[in-house]
């Protein structure tokens, strides 16, 4: 991935998610977890019903994408995040083979 931006990354990623949510974009969320075939383990392409961003002294910034039947949650203490080619990317701090890519349509 080229054009990677990482500075105050949870603020940058949360701002981008808010911006795209306000533009009424669909979020194409793909989770890759130890997937040798390069196919996402979980995939959804829909508009989230809401976004929650909170801060906790122990967990740091918390970002939650809510859909009608499921939610995705990322904790600053457990994830790295950055912007890459217009997508928001989260990767596990504990496992180099687990990452999320959020594209917007």
Residues 43-65: tens digit of each pLDDT: 999 999 999 999 999 999 999 99
Q: Provide the pLDDT for residue 39.
A: 84
- Looking at the structure of the chain, the number of domains it has is 1
User: CATH no. for residue 78?
Assistant: 2.30.29
Residue in 51, 5, 3, 2 with CA at minimum distance from that of residue 24 = 51
Please state the three-class secondary structure of the chain as a single string. Answer: CCCEECCCHHHHHHHHHHHHHHCCCCEEEEEEECCCCCCCCEEEEECCCEEEEEEECCCEEEEEEECCCCEEEEECCCEEEEEECCEEEEEECCCCCEEEEEEEC
Domain that holds residue 60: 4-104
pTM over 0.85: yes
Q: Is the pLDDT confidence value at 72 over 70?
A: yes
């Amino acid at each position: 991935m080229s054009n990677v931006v990482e500075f105050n990354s949870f603020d940058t990623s949360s701002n981008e998610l808010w911006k795209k949510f306000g533009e009424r974009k669909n979020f194409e969320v793909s989770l890759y977890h130890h997937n040798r075939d390069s196919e996402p383990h979980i995939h959804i392409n829909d508009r989230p019903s809401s976004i929650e961003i909170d801060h906790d002294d122990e967990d740091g910034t918390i970002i939650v994408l809510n859909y009608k039947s499921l939610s995705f949650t990322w904790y600053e203490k457990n994830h790295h995040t950055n912007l890459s080619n217009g997508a928001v990317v989260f990767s596990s701090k504990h496992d180099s083979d687990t990452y999320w890519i959020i594209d917007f349509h």
